[in-house]
Structure 1
Amino acid sequence: MMIFKDSHKEWQPIAGYAWEKGWHFDKREKFRVGLGFTAGITARKDFANYVPLPIVLPIFSASYNNVNMQFTYIPGTYNNGNVLFGWLRYSF
């Protein structure tokens, strides 16, 4: 579950699941890149006043030890959307 402010400064919740396949590029397995997908439900104020929307989006990441930078691409329409959304994740 995540909540953030969108480009209109309105709160946007999202809940779902992400699956990612990872590859290590060093012998000590400290550096890793990943590719997968995320599926879930989100809602936006500017889309029918928070009616739930299902989503399926690609996900990719780069990590070092326990710090993981993850990204997804949100496609849009003409002059609307096309967002590269990123967040930082730390694993204990």
Structure 2
Amino acid sequence: MTESRAVVGTPHASRYLQQLCKHWAHRFETEFSPTDARIALPLGETRLSASAETLTIDLTAQDAASLPDLRDVVVRHIERFAFRETLRFDWT
């Protein structure tokens, strides 16, 4: 398993977390509250945590080769919901 984390500054973290989970709930196993979420995607698991000023994204990919694709899928979807602001994803 390969892991990666991004902490994204946004005052709308809870909104994006919930939108992402609701969007994927019809296709994937999801669990969420306004502050925490888990989404089981075919490429790996996504865990999100929302505070007043940040959205923390923790990814666990099946293997190292899948990690870039998992990052890309999650980022593209969050950016769609956040079209009014520019988010910065610094992965570690």
**When the two structures are superposed, what TM-score results if normalisation uses the length of structure 2?**
0.32
**When you count helix as a share of all residues, which structure comes out higher?**
2
Larger Rg: 1
**When you count strand as a share of all residues, which structure comes out higher?**
1
Whose RCO is larger (CA < 8 A, sep 6+)? Answer: 2
**When the two structures are superposed, what TM-score results if normalisation uses the length of structure 1?**
0.32
